Amino acid sequence: MTTDRGGGRKMVRIWLGDHLIAEYVAEPDRASKYQRVMTPKFTGLRITVDNAAGPGSASELPRSEQLWPLTVQ
């Protein structure tokens, strides 16, 4: 797990191997809360926290590449 405590917005990503399955960008306190909530839900998956490049840096995966429907049943 990578955590950076600097200022600015943070990007939290959840990975299934090399596949990005979730991405969230927010202020550091909200990103930290998101990471704490998602960690037990995605036990065993890698979660990274990095500085966000800019206000709209989170990109949504194309619908055909989203894995969320496979994890929730």
For 9-36, what is each residue's pLDDT tens digit?
999 999 999 999 999 999 999 999 999 9
CA distance 55 to 47: 21
Helices within the chain (DSSP H only): 28-41, 68-71
pLDDT at residue 4 in the model: 45
pLDDT at residue 8 in the model: 87
Averaged pLDDT for residues 32-42: 94
pLDDT at residue 51 in the model: 93
Whether 2 and 48 have beta carbons less than 8 Å apart is answered as: yes
CA distance 16 to 71: 11
pLDDT at residue 41 in the model: 93
Whether 66 and 28 have beta carbons less than 8 Å apart is answered as: no
Residue in the structure block whose two tokens are 């926290």: 49
